[in-house]
Amino acid sequence: MPSRGRQLRLSVQTKVLIPVLAFLVLLPAITVWIVNHFNEQEERSGAQATLATADGVFRRLLESQEDGLLLRYRNLADDPRLTRILLAAPSQESATVYDNTIREFLNERLDDEYGDDTSVILFTSDRSPAPVGAKRGLAFGLDDFARAAGGISADALKGGPATGTVNLPGAAFYVVAVPVILPENGGQLAGALTVGVRIGEPALQELKKLTHTEILLVADQQVIDSTMASGPESVLLSQLTVPAGPEARPEVSEVQPRMVMVQGAHYLALTGSYAFDGARRGFRYVLLSSLEPSLQALRETQRTLLGVSLLGILLSAAVVWFFVRRITRPLRELRDTAEAVGRGDFSLKVGRFSNDECGDLADAFNRMTSNLESSRAELEKAVETLQATQAQLIQSEKLSAVGQFVAGVAHELNNPLAAVIGFSDLLCQTEAGETVRPQLELIAKSAHRCHRIVQNLLSFARQHPPERSLVQLNGTIDEVLEIMAYEFRTSNITVVREFQDDLPLITADPHQLQQVFVNILGNARQAIEAFRSDGRIVVRTGVADGFIRLEFSDNGPGIRPENLAKIFDPFFTTKPVGKGTGLGLSLSYGIIREHGGRISARSEPGSGATFVIELPVAADAPAPRGRELSRPVARRPKAAAPSGKRVLVVDDEEWLLALARQLLENDGHEVETVPGGEPAVAALRRRKFDVVVCDWKMPGLNGIQFYEHLLATDPAAADRVIFMSGDVINDTFQEFLRRHEKTCLPKPFAIEDFQNAVAAMLAS
């Protein structure tokens, strides 16, 4: 009997819970389905009507632009200079000169009077066997364009203007053809001028604003141009049926609107054609209308219904729980005691309910509680030991990971930076006009600054102390503000300088300080740009208690109090994923501390933020009389070396090979460059070289493997190898250099260092 009573009690609970919960779950599900079904139909119908309207607007806009281009270019045929050229009828011997004169005239008009959208101008007449013209920025020839636009040009040769569109590989064009009539010859038709205006992204963006749709131009199953971000066009075309030729009806949409997915977003797509008629070959287009806003609203409605349903389920569950609680009253004491044990309170004991299984359960629970209390004390002691060990391991792993990351980034930057520094230094050494020299000096200055930043990253990874010199802080800040002036101007941010004159000098690394200032000013610019359109940054300098005080104040959104204490922690950032690493302010904090200074921040949300930097005044250093900007580092003189030697340069970076060739050929050497280790081996088999300059990291046969091959096959050539590398902190490479007593040029290098290294090897 007791067993049957317990079964009957459980059966009643089941009969109550299952119908109530099933009804409350099923009802909102059906409601959401019905609402979703009708809303989707309504939204699809509205989007189809919008897309059909946009299709008509798009066609009218294309026709209007054709007419506007006709007005724009029809006066070209009346140009007096063209008339004079055509009136001078050429003989058979001067036909080439005649064509060249027309071509020169068209080139001048194309370069001087028409914008970048005008890509080609052709002159067609009976005097020339082939059209004569000028083009700009086209990957195909004038003959290809002439054949594609032949029907339109033929219409103009009949005496009247003609317009149309054509497409060629990778481009679509408006084509305007106007007849050239010579009034001096009784209105004789001398030929036709055909102008091709590319339908590119700027024109499509204007059409996008007017039609409120995304636009793709398609020709031969390929996207010519698009208002969408690059990437999804192939996915989109795979979902649509776009005819490849003029077989579909012109001026009518060939495919009814249909739903497509582009990068997870829903669009309604309409495919149409334009200007397919006879000899003229137009293009296809796809109009896309986004359904995401309406679908988002539908999802909001679904969430609201689900929320209401969830509330009903919770209320019903509370009622059922109340009745179950009355039935399970004897077990509540056990539950309360178990919760207390879960919180760590082992003082409560469960009273024995009765002399049955429940009583046995209470006794077993009390014994378990006693055992847990003793086990917990031992576990806490073990956890403390593990946490201390884990903290040490995490910190060690972080430092190792940061060092490897910085070394990898520095190596990737050093390769292209070597070419930038080399060519900029080379240009600065050449004779340049007064109008060009300031720009060359700015390029060289910026390139050297990038070099120092990379060196600072490597210094951070290797924990080397920075190089210090006497610095005038006002001038250092001015340099940073000059470099960032364009960013501030385009972001509509005004920078106010409140500098104290005759600031004392400080002992510091100016490049590291520039890095700190760029980080702080860059963060302020990004915060202001997302918060308001009239930004303002105030930079103040002053002296107080033996310290130079520098303040950066902005009128951005400020920093939240909970984030203010963490902004200098490594990897802490409030920016979205991909927008920041969280290392800028952490590195800045470390740089200021290494200089014996202090850096802090204060802020009120909505009232901007202020960063304060205090740096100690240099001991026994006189104050300068004016702003003293940093000066370029003095160059080492180039060592004298014999000329006319053969030098082999091995590197996988094309621009470094070009730089090395120019430097060595300027010194009178015969230079051969190869892009890797395998071609270098082949070159050494063909001939002997006096010096071999080789990169370390290369795909395929790297520098070490190349050197070991030379040791085995040509030891004399191995003795004449000079290495260069951007990964100067790699332990394996450093051990290799020490073992073989080889020299290595660290990338980026000064051109004098490169020339001196080669000269030293030749001298030996």
Tell me the percentage of the chain whose pLDDT exceeds 70. Answer: 71
Q: What is the 3-class SS of 669-731, one letter each residue?
A: CEEEEECCHHHHHHHHHHCCCCEEEEECCCCCCCHHHHHHHHHHHCHHHHHCEEEEECCCCCH
List of residues 6+ apart from 704 with CB closer than 8 A = 696, 733, 736
Q: According to the model, what pLDDT value does residue 403 have?
A: 58
pLDDT at 633 > cutoff 60: no
Q: Tell me the HSE value of 2 on the side-chain side, using a 13 A CA sphere.
A: 2
Of 389-393, 513-517, 609-613, where does mean pLDDT reach its minimum? 389-393
Q: Do 286 and 266 touch, CB atoms closer than 8 A?
A: no
Task: Give CA–CA dist 628/648, Å, rounded.
Answer: 44
Q: According to the model, what pLDDT value does residue 614 have?
A: 94
DSSP characters over 294-321: HHHHHHHHHHHHHHHHHHHHHHHHHHHH
Task: Give CA–CA dist 520/554, Å, rounded.
Answer: 10
pLDDT at 699 > cutoff 70: yes
DSSP characters over 20-88: HHHHHHHHHHHHHHHHHHHHHHHHHHHHHHHHHHHHHHHHHHHHHHHHHHHHHHGGGGG-HHHHHHHHS
- 8-state DSSP, 263: T
Q: According to the model, what pLDDT value does residue 625 have?
A: 45
Token pair, residue 30, equals 């059906």
Q: Is 521 exposed, middle or buried (0-12, 13-18, 19+ CB in 10 A)?
A: buried
Domains within the chain, CATH numbers bracketed:
69-292 (no CATH), 335-398 (no CATH), 473-616 (3.30.565.10), 646-763 (3.40.50.2300)
The tens digit of pLDDT for each residue in 229-277 reads 665 666 666 666 555 554 444 444 445 677 777 777 777 777 777 665 5
The tens digit of pLDDT for each residue in 113-140 reads 676 667 788 888 766 667 888 888 777 7
Q: Tell me the HSE value of 93 on the side-chain side, using a 13 A CA sphere.
A: 0
Other residues' Cβ atoms within 10 Å of the Cβ of residue 307: 11
Q: What is the mean pLDDT of the chain?
A: 75
Q: Do 193 and 181 touch, CB atoms closer than 8 A?
A: no
**Whole-model pTM above 0.85?**
no
Average pLDDT over residues 406-434: 69
Q: Is 467 exposed, middle or buried (0-12, 13-18, 19+ CB in 10 A)?
A: middle
Q: Do 688 and 717 touch, CB atoms closer than 8 A?
A: yes
DSSP characters over 356-389: SHHHHHHHHHHHHHHHHHHHHHHHHHHHHHHHHH
- Chain-centre distance for alpha carbon 307: 40
Task: Give CA–CA dist 738/723, Å, rounded.
Answer: 12
Task: Give CA–CA dist 333/336, Å, rounded.
Answer: 5
Q: Do 660 and 747 touch, CB atoms closer than 8 A?
A: no
The tens digit of pLDDT for each residue in 260-269 reads 777 777 777 7
Task: Give CA–CA dist 528/556, Å, rounded.
Answer: 4
- 8-state DSSP, 230: S
pLDDT at 6 > cutoff 50: no
Q: Pairing mode, if any, of strands 132-135 and 118-124?
A: antiparallel
Nearest to 188 by CA among 162, 155, 159, 161: 159
- Chain-centre distance for alpha carbon 378: 53
The tens digit of pLDDT for each residue in 551-588 reads 999 999 998 888 888 888 877 777 765 566 667 888 88
H helices within 463-536, ranges in order?
Answer: 473-483, 485-490, 510-529
Average pLDDT over residues 51-79: 75
- 8-state DSSP, 185: G
Q: According to the model, what pLDDT value does residue 127 have?
A: 64
Residue type, 94: S
Q: According to the model, what pLDDT value does residue 387 have?
A: 64
Q: According to the model, what pLDDT value does residue 498 have?
A: 94
Task: Give CA–CA dist 657/643, Å, rounded.
Answer: 19
Nearest to 239 by CA among 272, 261, 214: 261
Nearest to 411 by CA among 658, 655, 730: 730
Average pLDDT over residues 443-462: 65
- CA distances from residue 672 to 336, 679, 711 in whole angstroms, order as listed: 86, 11, 21
Of 226-230, 520-524, 525-529, 578-582, where does mean pLDDT reach its minimum? 578-582
Q: How confident is the model at residue 737 (pLDDT cuts 50, 70, 90)?
A: confident
727 phi-psi bin (left φ>0, alpha ψ -120 to 50, beta other):
beta
Bridge partners of residue 181, in order along the sequence: 189
Residue type, 544: A
Q: What is the 3-class SS of 410-455, one letter each residue?
A: HHHHHHHHHHHHHHHHHHHHCCCCCCCHHHHHHHHHHHHHHHHHHH
